[in-house]
A = this chain, B = another copy of it.
């Protein structure tokens, strides 16, 4: 299931990796694609949207509703 999040605060490649790792820790099968310039995180995962958003927030980034 494709889910798109708008994530603020990703400033560099380390941030992309941190967000990717947070999502994959929650769901190792998840596919993650990040377009940092667009603040966009696309996730293919069966996990609930709010769980994925919370995993991103726990890394210190804000996720738009």
Contacts and interface: CB of A to CB of B under 8 A. Distances in A.
Q: Lowest 3 A-B CB distances belong to which pairs?
A: A14-B14, A11-B11, A11-B12
Contacts of A17: 14
Is the interface on chain A under 10, 10 to 19, 20 to 34, or 35 or more residues? Answer: under 10
Copies of this chain, complex-wide, total 2
11 contacts: A9-B12, A11-B11, A11-B12, A12-B12, A12-B14, A12-B15, A13-B60, A14-B14, A14-B15, A14-B17, A14-B18
Nearest to A12: B11
A37 to B, nearest CB: 14
A14 to B, nearest CB: 3
Contacts of A60: 13
